[in-house]
Amino acid sequence: MEELRLQGNAFVASGEPHKAVPLYIQAMDLYDDVTASGINKTLDEYTKSAGNALTCLLKMQDRAACIKVAKRALQVNSIFGKANAAWGRCLMEDASLYGAGEGPHTAFMLLCRAVYELPALEESSRPFLAAAIGQMLEDKRRATASGSLEDALAVRKGSCGFGVVAQMDIPPFAEVSSTLGPFSVSAYEETEGRGCCVSCGCVLHEATRPSVLPCPTCNMVFYCSPSCLESHASAHAQYECTPLMKLKVMAANVGAQHLDVPEEFFETAFHCITTFSGIRAGKEGHEQIFTLEAHTDEVAQRFPMVPLVRDLLPNETCDAIAKVVGIIRCNALEICDATGLGVGQSLFVGKGNITSFFNHSCAPNCAIDADRNCICTVRRVYKGEELTIAYMPQLYWPAKLRQDALAERYFFSCRCERCEGSATDPFEKAIVAVQTGSRQDATKHYHAQVQTACSAVRCRGPDDLSPREVERLEALLSEMLVHLFPFHYLCHDVRNTLTFLYSVMNDTKKCLASCLQELLLWECIVPGALPVKQMKIRNALCCLSD
């Protein structure tokens, strides 16, 4: 391999890169040839030959061949930054090389991967990153000027059930469905009902919370406006107020007596109360509630809460309660504030309402925008393509963990394009990559430690946190980086929690650095204008302003 590479180098030195490329490719072939013996085959030598081939092909402007070599090399070395850089650069230089559903967001993602994997590539990648951003901003400008999308969407049945499909090309940043006006809403226990309006489902921001209207009797539901109060007050008084007060007492007893109930008991019971309220009040869509997917048997086994909910709703049958619990678990969408923090959940159903038909993807082309109270496209969506959102925030986890989490929460096995291609996706391998000479089973060793350490911080209020938590997590991250690469998903879990801690401790310098690292990883994983990226940019700008 080395001899072939050196022969190729000699041709490059004499100004004949076209003669060097076949020699570099031969060296790569030797590495792949399992029958070849007596040859010193190392990953380092393979990477050198592939890197030299990429350099020559870029000089020759043979971009299609360059992309082919880059893709091949990444299957062998998943953290080969130069291959990602060459691939992204070629796409920016020749748009005809984009595949289906690709665009400048794809090139931007590849270039970000290159910079994350090899920071030394930042300077040479910067012009192409800037060009990709420019093209995406132009797409946004066109989206702002675009017309109605009334006929752009249709609900169609596919391999994963019903879904929303584009009937025409849809630009990025386009609002495709409202998240206001759900059939029922549930607030999370930690928000004490103040996180979202129980009628329209909008987020109640800190600035507006002093003017929100609570139910004076139970003080567990809040309204964003007099009109929402007026439209919902009658059903609340008749079907919700008393059960919610009982729930508050029950939840307190559960905590005091350390009873073994599902972690999501409060919000699920809350949502059962408001859902049955909508059914009994004859709210629009009530006839369709029991047609939604429920996985009743699986939910009943995993979440044994029907008897407790029956105590709150004695007029409902156990079978009906079990069905509604399953419907909520499988269909409710989380309501998040502008920081990405969950404050409640909402259930959508009704004639003409397509919000409940958005399926999950680990590489979504749409997202729920808390600021605009809508589902919007995060990149250009092409005619015939299904519009998807993410049901979980941990899209930086490897495929197996994502699939396990989705099966646990929503009772389906994810078959999105990213999961289906995870075995050959280089970055899926990169986010579990370990350093050479790392401890055995490094990922398994640190996984439990990270989940425990991060959960211990997240379950506490800001006033209960101290610099000691920062020191512990920083020490854990430093230890992990000896064994794991910086873009390993566990490092991101720790970094995400550290960003939160730095913000609480008002350490703007460290918060900025951590935010930017998080943002770069997000750009490496899911292309497009996801709200979580917007949040990271906001946090970074806040740090700069300080």
pTM for the model: 0.88
- Average pLDDT value for residue range 304-333: 94
Residue 150 — very low, low, confident or very high, per pLDDT cuts 50/70/90?
low
User: In terms of pLDDT, which residue wins out, 352 or 291?
Assistant: 291
Note whether 265 and 255 are within 8 A (CB).
Answer: no
Query: pLDDT tens-digit profile of 67-86?
Result: 999 999 999 999 999 999 99
Residue 137 — very low, low, confident or very high, per pLDDT cuts 50/70/90?
confident
Residue 205 — very low, low, confident or very high, per pLDDT cuts 50/70/90?
confident
For residue 100, which amino acid is it?
A
pLDDT at site 34: 62
pLDDT at site 209: 58
- For residue 171, pLDDT over 70 is answered with yes
| Assigned token pair, 71 | 């893709």
Q: How far apart are CA 498 and CA 477, in angstroms?
A: 10
Percent of the chain's residues with pLDDT above 70: 95
Residue 146 — very low, low, confident or very high, per pLDDT cuts 50/70/90?
low
Q: Read off φ and ψ for residue 232, nearest 5 degrees.
A: -110, -15
- Average pLDDT value for residue range 380-387: 92
Q: Read off φ and ψ for residue 100, nearest 5 degrees.
A: -60, 130
For residue 124, which amino acid is it?
S
- For residue 257, pLDDT over 80 is answered with no
Percent of the chain's residues with pLDDT above 90: 69
Note whether 305 and 267 are within 8 A (CB).
Answer: no
Note whether 328 and 275 are within 8 A (CB).
Answer: yes
pLDDT at site 184: 97
Query: pLDDT tens-digit profile of 222-247?
Result: 999 999 999 999 999 999 999 999 99
- For residue 538, pLDDT over 90 is answered with no
Cβ neighbors of 13 (< 8 A, separation 6 or more) are: none
pLDDT at site 350: 78
The residue among 71, 136, 125, 134 whose CA lies nearest residue 102 is: 136
For residue 297, which amino acid is it?
D
- Average pLDDT value for residue range 101-128: 95
Tokens 């920071």 appear where?
119
Q: How far apart are CA 380 and CA 366, in angstroms?
A: 9
Instruction: Tell me which range, 35-49, 52-66, 91-105, 254-268, is most confidently predicted by mean pLDDT.
Output: 52-66
Residue 328 — very low, low, confident or very high, per pLDDT cuts 50/70/90?
very high
- Average pLDDT value for residue range 23-47: 82
Residue 122 — very low, low, confident or very high, per pLDDT cuts 50/70/90?
very high
In terms of C-beta density within 10 A (0-12 exposed, 13-18 middle, 19 or more buried), how is residue 7 classed? middle
- 474 half-sphere exposure, CB direction, 13 A CA radius: 12
Q: How many residues does the chain have?
A: 546
DSSP 35-72: T--SS---HHHHHHHHHHHHHHHHHHT-HHHHHHHHHH
For residue 436, which amino acid is it?
T
pLDDT at site 88: 98
> b/e map of 511-538 (b: 16 or more CB within 10 Å)?
bbbbbbbbbbbbbbbbbbbbbbbbbbee
Q: How far apart are CA 73 and CA 46, in angstroms?
A: 8
